[in-house]
């Protein structure tokens, strides 16, 4: 018995230790089980809740644009959904009282963008009613806003806002928000496609401004609709529309409405008033500021398609070694004329060109095909150089700049745009000996000694002397290296 008691006493501490261990394990398992259960309950409960506001312990900044708060160190945190290992991450449901929900309205965005230097554009969705004759009004009853009547914007829908001279030739159109309509604005015609209202007044009729002020902005604005858009045109010029009918037919499947004389109440679900300009510079685009990333290369490709032009790239020596590259010399009829065209043609042939001499024609469809057949285009600064839009990619243009410090105007109108079109650019500035102004003014006149002083006298003086009175007698020996350089460019052009 004593031995048994001794054995029992010896075993007692060991049994107690095992018992304590067992109790500890049971308590731990119970804690873990309860934690998991609670975590599952919390997870299930929060998954049934409406939008969540994610709160982190880092410093917070308010992003009022979407109603969330995000980390000041990472603005994307508010939108992330992946799991986080941070222990101080808490999810809190966003709740609103019925009264708050009733008082909430969607953020009201401005319908008109008046910030662009070149153009003003208004866009609206809703119950749109357009009346042209007498009123020139665009009424909009937007469904997403409550009491929105009374606001209005009056713009000139022509893409040369900064130029008061052109603006005087463009009619104003007003967009006005209304809460509803009366019998006087009952729909006469319901349209199923969006409306685009713009003007072709201003300086249209000048070939350069036709493109810079209307056709390029029109492409940027209308092309995204894929032809499903109705044009309403103010300051209508039927002969002008006829001249560029291939552009209009490519951009819209619907007959143009002459806005100024239209007394019909036309109803739409969407309207754009004015034309977009992604660049503040003439005859250019800035893809980074275009909603669709359009560039002048896109416009040129569109032009080739509209006019069914066959050549996408210029002459290549490795492909057409038996054919000479083709040079077009633009002949001007009145001002800034070449006085020795025949001499220029002979020299160009000696360099190795097949030469075409042409004067820009109102039959743009035919003339565009002639231009597209050429690899080099040369001419004195003027609107006719706008024909570079019809040249094939990697062609060359040579702008002959008249006397009188006209580099700035030459660069603005054609050097920069040509580069955007993937047309190689060369510039030749004539000397005193090559201008016919020497026959009108003595060599000690400001025309030769201080041309900039005449610039400062204003556009009328500048234009009269340097653009209207001047012709060019090209020094063919001085000019020859430019034609040789153009030929080298064609030979070295990359294959695309």
Domain boundary among 271, 287, 305: 305
User: Is the same domain home to 287 and 321?
Assistant: no
Return the axis-axis angle of helices 341-351 and 476-492, rounded to nearest 10°: 40
| Residues 394 and 424: beta-carbon distance below 8 Å | yes
Domain boundary among 305, 338, 373: 305
User: Is the same domain home to 354 and 464?
Assistant: yes
Report the b/e string of 60-95 with b at 16+ CB within 10 A: eeeeeeeebbbbeeeeebbeeeeeeeeeeeeeeeee
Pairing outcome for strands 52-55 and 195-199: unpaired
- Rounded CA gap, 130 and 367, in Å? 38
| Residues 130 and 268: beta-carbon distance below 8 Å | yes
User: Is the same domain home to 135 and 247?
Assistant: yes
User: Is the same domain home to 177 and 295?
Assistant: yes
> How open is the CA angle 183-184-185, to the nearest 5 degrees?
90
| Residues 197 and 274: beta-carbon distance below 8 Å | yes
Per DSSP, the chain holds a count of helices (H) and strands (E) of 16, 19
Main-chain phi, psi angles of 196, to 5 degrees: -130, 115
- Rounded CA gap, 83 and 81, in Å? 7
- Note the residue count of the chain: 496
- Rounded CA gap, 23 and 430, in Å? 104
Q: Is residue 187 part of a domain?
A: yes
User: Is the same domain home to 282 and 134?
Assistant: yes
Q: Is residue 224 part of a domain?
A: yes
Distance from chain centroid for Cα 64? 28
Domain boundary among 305, 329, 350: 305
DSSP string of 59-123, one letter each residue: -EEEETTTTEEEETTBTTGGG--S----TT-EEEE----HHHHHH-------SEE---SS--EEE
User: Is the same domain home to 188 and 249?
Assistant: yes
Pairing outcome for strands 152-155 and 173-177: antiparallel
In terms of Cα–Cα distance, which of 145, 137, 136 is closest to 179?
A: 145
User: Is the same domain home to 237 and 353?
Assistant: no
Tell me what pLDDT residue 94 has.
44
- Rounded CA gap, 174 and 195, in Å? 15
> How open is the CA angle 7-11-16, to the nearest 5 degrees?
155
Token reading at 393: 């990619």
Walking along the chain (496 residues) 10 residues at a time, the average pLDDT comes out as 40 45 49 44 36 31 33 33 37 45 52 94 96 90 70 96 95 94 94 98 97 98 98 98 98 97 96 97 96 97 98 85 93 96 99 97 95 98 98 98 96 96 98 98 98 97 98 99 98 78
Q: Which residue range(s) make up the domain with 253?
A: 116-305
Token reading at 425: 């650019």
User: Is the same domain home to 248 and 148?
Assistant: yes
- Rounded CA gap, 187 and 389, in Å? 42
Q: Is residue 6 part of a domain?
A: no
Q: Is residue 260 part of a domain?
A: yes
User: Any residues with CB less than 8 A from the CB of 220 and at least 6 apart, and which?
Assistant: 275, 276, 277, 278, 285, 290, 292, 294
What residue ranges in 111-253 does DSSP mark as E strands? Answer: 112-113, 121-131, 137-141, 152-155, 173-177, 189-190, 195-199, 230-234
Q: Is residue 97 part of a domain?
A: no
Tell me what pLDDT residue 23 has.
45
CA atoms within 13 A on the CB side of 420: 23
Q: Is residue 108 part of a domain?
A: no
Tell me what pLDDT residue 110 has.
63
Q: Look up the pTM and report it.
A: 0.77
CA-CA-CA-CA torsion sign (114, 115, 120, 125): negative
User: Is the same domain home to 390 and 290?
Assistant: no
Q: Is 379 exposed, middle or buried (0-12, 13-18, 19+ CB in 10 A)?
A: buried
Q: Residue 51: how many CB atoms within 10 A of its CB? A: 9
User: Is the same domain home to 165 and 238?
Assistant: yes
| Residues 264 and 130: beta-carbon distance below 8 Å | no
- Rounded CA gap, 213 and 19, in Å? 94
DSSP 147: S
CATH code, 353: 3.40.50
Token reading at 397: 């243009």
- Rounded CA gap, 244 and 234, in Å? 16
Q: Is residue 93 part of a domain?
A: no
Q: How many domains does the chain have?
A: 2
Q: Is residue 406 part of a domain?
A: yes
């Amino acid at each position: 018995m004593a031995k048994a008691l001794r054995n029992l006493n010896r075993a007692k501490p060991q049994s107690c230790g095992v018992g304590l261990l067992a109790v500890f394990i049971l308590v731990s398992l119970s804690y873990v089980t309860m934690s998991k259960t609670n975590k599952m309950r919390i997870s299930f409960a929060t998954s049934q809740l409406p939008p969540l506001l994610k709160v982190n312990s880092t410093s917070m900044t308010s992003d009022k644009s979407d109603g969330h708060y995000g980390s000041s160190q990472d603005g994307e945190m508010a939108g992330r959904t992946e799991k986080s290992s941070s222990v101080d991450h808490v999810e809190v449901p966003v709740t609103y009282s019925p009264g708050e929900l009733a008082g909430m309205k969607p953020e009201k965005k401005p319908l008109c963008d008046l910030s662009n230097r070149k153009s003003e554009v208004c866009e609206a969705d809703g119950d749109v009613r357009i009346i042209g004759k007498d009123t020139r009004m665009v009424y909009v009853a937007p469904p997403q806003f409550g009491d929105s009547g009374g606001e209005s914007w009056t713009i000139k829908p022509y893409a040369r806002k900064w130029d008061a001279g052109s603006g005087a030739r463009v009619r104003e159109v007003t967009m006005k928000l209304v809460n509803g309509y009366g019998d006087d604005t009952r729909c006469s015609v319901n349209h199923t496609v969006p409306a685009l209202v713009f003007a072709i007044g201003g300086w249209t009729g000048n070939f350069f401004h036709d493109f810079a002020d209307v056709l390029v902005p029109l492409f940027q604005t209308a092309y995204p609709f894929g032809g499903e858009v109705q044009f309403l045109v103010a300051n209508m010029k039927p002969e002008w529309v006829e001249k560029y009918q291939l552009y209009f037919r490519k951009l819209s499947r619907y007959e143009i409405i002459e806005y100024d004389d239209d007394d019909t109440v036309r109803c739409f679900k969407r309207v754009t008033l004015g034309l977009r300009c992604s660049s503040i510079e003439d005859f250019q685009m800035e893809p980074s500021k275009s909603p669709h990333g359009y560039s002048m290369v896109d416009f040129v490709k569109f032009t080739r398609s509209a006019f069914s032009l066959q050549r996408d790239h210029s002459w290549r020596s490795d492909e057409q070694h038996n054919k000479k590259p083709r040079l077009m010399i633009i002949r001007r009829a009145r001002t800034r004329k070449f006085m020795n065209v025949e001499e220029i043609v002979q020299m160009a042939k000696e360099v190795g060109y097949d030469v075409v001499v042409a004067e820009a024609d109102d039959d743009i469809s035919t003339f565009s095909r002639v231009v597209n057949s050429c690899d080099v285009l040369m001419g004195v600064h003027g609107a006719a150089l706008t024909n570079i839009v019809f040249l094939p990619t990697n062609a060359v243009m040579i702008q002959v700049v008249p006397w009188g410090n006209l580099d700035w105007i030459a660069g603005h109108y054609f050097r920069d745009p040509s580069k955007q079109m993937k047309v190689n650019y060369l510039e030749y500035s004539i000397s005193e000996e090559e201008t016919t102004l020497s026959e009108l003014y003595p060599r000690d006149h400001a025309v030769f000694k201080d041309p900039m002083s005449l610039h400062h006298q204003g556009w009328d003086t500048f234009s009269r002397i340097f653009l209207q009175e001047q012709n060019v007698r090209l020094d063919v020996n001085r000019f020859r290296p430019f034609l040789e350089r153009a030929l080298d460019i064609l030979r070295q052009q990359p294959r695309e």
